[in-house]
Each structure stands twice: as C-alpha cells, then as structure tokens.
Chain A
Amino acid sequence: MSLGFSIKEGLKGFGRARMATFITITSVVLALIMIGLFILLAINIDHWVGEKRRHLQVEVFLEPAFTDLQAQKIVAKLKKLPEVQSVQYISQQEAAERFKKEFGRDVREVLGTNPLPPSCIVRMKPAYQNAQAIARLSQIIRTWDGVSDVVYGQSLLKIIDRYVTLVYLIIIGLGLLLLVVATVLIHNSVRLIIYARHEIIEIMKLVGATRAFIRRPFLVEGILYGFIGGAIADLVIWILVRVFQNWVYAGIIQNWQSYAIVLGLGILIGFISSEMSVNKHLNRLI
C-alpha cells in the first residue's frame, strides 16, 4: 500500500478542521514549553549541585615541624588513593602568604613566628564527592603519621546529600506527571480532529481500506503536530531563556540536548496520542 497516500492525507489533514488543528498545536506547544522549562530547571539544579560537589575539598593539615621533603611523601601517598583526583601541597611559606592576602597582615610580623602548618588540599573524583566517601577517607588519613587534622565542609555536604535525592525524586515525579498531562491534553485534541473527520474514516471503511491504512494518515498527522509543536515550544523556550539571561540571571545554563528532548518528546507524544485516539475510534466503528 502506498505510503505516499498516507503522508499526503496526513498533510491534507492540516488544511481541514482548522480550529481543531489550532487547538491541538496550541496544547502541544503549551505542554512542551512546561516540560522544556522543567528540563532546564533540572539541568540547572544538577549543574549547581555538581559545582558544589566539585568545589568540595578536603584539607589535610600536617605537623608544623614537617619539612617539605617529608610532606611530599604524604602528597605522594595521597595521590595513590583511588578516591583522590588531585592533591595540592601548600607549604608553611605559602600558607603565610595566603594569610596575608586574606587578612592583609603578615602572620610572622604579628606573632614573630609562623604557626601555620603545611597542608594538602585534596579534591575527590566525581564518584566520591559525597559525605560518606569523604568521611571514610578522612578517617583513614587522620591515622597517618604526620597528619594533625583533616577538615572538610561537612555540613554543606550533608545538606546536599540529604536533599538532593529528594529534589531529584520530585523532579522525576513532576516530569512524569507533566508528560501524562501533555499526552492526555494532546490525546483529547487529536480526538477532536478524528471526530471532525469521521466521515472520511467511514468512507475508507466502506471501500475496504484496512485498519492499518486508515490509521496511517492520522499517525503521520499526529507526528507532524508533535514536530511542529515541539519546534514552536523550543523557539519559545529559547526566547524565554534569552530574556531571563538578559534581565534576571546571566548564569543560567542550557544545552542542545534539552531542546532535542523537547522536540523528540513532541514527536513521541504526537505519535502515541494519535495512535490511542485512532484505535479507540476505529474500535467503536469497525
């Protein structure tokens, strides 16, 4: 059977029942804008959490009496740990300079000596940027000879760990809800279109068109609605992001994948909802 006929009929569908077409595309666009903005929100939250985790550092303080040579041994030992991404050694000298930069006064002049111990700033590999892994590692390092203390942003880490899973669960839940709402919305609109064309379905049935053949133009049409709706939604989201970046907060991040997801979801929802509507209608008629 000719696929050309199905595509041609599907395209013709746009011209007919203009009101129903308009309502359908509008609902597709609105639903996809909601989903798209939601995806952007999720990306930004994920990015923020990632940044916070990335900047988490473990400070390992060494005995003040340690020489640089002794300290380098600790650095080498730290670097060998599987959880560790990088180690930065800060000598007593560097610590004093940092103090001066931060507080404006030279600690050696104030106290007559430099009490600041040498230290190592340890950054974790992404897989270990969580409270549990860092606590475990800290405990191990603390037992090493020459290590006087291990310090890290315990409280922030705990907050992130506790709430991030919850936030992600809420995001996934709301995302699924939005998807269902969008599908129902589009499903109803496609039903309007099919109802507007029950005449053509009836005639197709009478002349002996198969179910698959009757369905195909509507599926083509559903996919087209999804595609056009997705493209318009992407455009609106892009404009909204630009406006937001210019007027509210420039640091908002976005990526092409989120736009592709919106377009892909549009096509998928268009296909699924027209499939559901046509089947329902044909079951009643045949």
Chain B
Amino acid sequence: MIEFYNVSLNIDGKKILQNVSFRLFKGEFAYIVGPSGAGKSTILKLIYMDIFPDQGMVIVNNYSSAKIRRHEIPYLRRELGVVFQDFKLLPDRNVYENVAFALRATGGKPREIRHRVVRMLNEVNLSQQRSMLPEKISGGEKQRVAIARAIINDPFIVLADEPTGNLDARTSREIMEIFERINRKGTAILMATHDQSLIEQYPHRVIKIEEGRIVSE
C-alpha cells in the first residue's frame, strides 16, 4: 500500500534522501526515527505528494509519484490523514469547526458532517471543548483536535510528524494511546519521531534513517 523504490531527492543541491526503499503494509504501525534533518519529514511529504522524488518512485495505494496528475493529488490526500507537531489548527475557529473543516473542504453534506464530527469528538474525548477556540485549550487537546481532523475522512493511514514533540510525557502517552486505538481499528500509522522512550513504551517496527539513508529496520 505504501512503497518507496530507490527514492532519491536533492533540494538546492543538497542530498536529502538517497536510495530509500521500504514498504508499509495495510494496518501496520511504524516509526521513522533519526536525528533532525535526517529526512523524516521529507518521507512523509513524499507520501502525501507535497514533493516528488528526483529518482525512484513512491506508490501510495493506486497512485504513483511517477504518474499522478496534479488534479488527482487532492483525492490521494483524502485517503490519508496528516498530523503535525505544531497542530496546524485554524485559530479563528472552534474545536468543532476545526474538525468539521476537513469534511466541509471536501464537500461533505451538512447532516453527515454534524453526525461524524460529534462521533469523532467523542472518540478523542473533546465533546466538552467543542465550542472552545484553540487558544483556550491545552497542547494535548489541540493535538487531539488535529487527530480527529486527520481521521474524520476514514483514512487508511495516518502520517504523524513528531506529534508529541510539543507535549509533556504524560500528554504524549495520552496521544500515543489514541494512535494505538486508531491502529487497532485497522488504520496504519507512520510516525516520525526522535522520542526513544515512546518507542520503547509502544514498540512497533522502526525505520531508522540517517543522512538521507535507511540505516536499519
């Protein structure tokens, strides 16, 4: 379902990735680990096709980086969920609207949006905070809003870029529990992180990357 074939990428003459190949299977949970600047975020961006490889190929479900057309990219992204370290919430909309936004922006029907957002907020324990603006809620709650937004379209995979990077240890565990729960329901998770303790607490496949190369799996 996700395959990297000898992917190389240079940006401004700098080698970001070199001959990266791996596969991620349906429902799998995997970490991408490595120091800052190793190319972790780049791998995620290649999956949601924000950038394209100079050499090699990335295949995501039925889409190939070599063949995908620009107008198909939004439809690929509807099959993915993306979560970031800095949450990327809209500051002028409340929790409910931030989650609903993913459905509205993809043309959901009002009744269906209401139904799904309420269910999703229950799932991440945010029903009480539904009318609050992002600035009024804690970091952990913000990340839960971001997760709810990422999974509301029922993606087959959630890509998480250092999702616990801005959170304390206890809140990080809460977030990890949510990812575990999502994964148990059959959604694959690919998480970029450098938090070794989390990996030890929640052991899964680890893809280690250094200076743009996979050094161990």
Contacts and interface: CB of A to CB of B under 8 A. Distances in A.
A210 B77 contact: no
Given A1-B107, A2-B107, A286-B70, A207 B102 contact: yes
Most buried by B among A210, A213, A214: A210
A213 B88 CA distance: 20
B61 to A, nearest CB: 13
Given A199-B88, A206-B48, A206-B77, A5 B71 contact: no
Contacts, number: 53
Contacts of B92: 16
B74 interface: yes
B44 to A, nearest CB: 11
B142 interface: no
Given A1-B107, A2-B107, A207 B71 contact: no
A174 to B, nearest CB: 40
A142 interface: no
Given A16-B92, A199-B88, A202-B88, A211 B74 contact: yes
B113 to A, nearest CB: 10
Contact of B74 (A5, A200, A210): A210
Indicate the size class of the contact surface on chain A. 10 to 19
Given A208-B75, A210-B71, A5 B104 contact: yes
Where chain A touches its partner, the secondary structure class is helix
Nearest to A199: B90
B156 interface: no
B57 interface: no
Interface in A235-286: 286
A213 B71 contact: no
Contacts of B90: 199-200, 203
A180 interface: no
A79 interface: no
Nearest to B89: A203
Interface in B42-94: 48, 70-71, 73-78, 82, 88, 90, 92
Interface string B91-118: 0100000000110111100000000000
Nearest to A12: B92
Contacts of A214: 105
Most buried by B among A2, A202, A208, A209: A208
Given A206-B77, A207-B106, A286-B70, 5 more contacts: A5-B105, A206-B88, A207-B149, A208-B76, A208-B78
10 A-B pairs with least C-beta separation: A208-B78, A1-B107, A208-B77, A209-B105, A207-B102, A208-B74, A210-B74, A204-B105, A5-B104, A206-B82
Interface of B: 48, 70-71, 73-78, 82, 88, 90, 92, 101-102, 104-107, 149, 153
Interface of A: 1-2, 5, 16, 199-200, 202-211, 213-214, 286
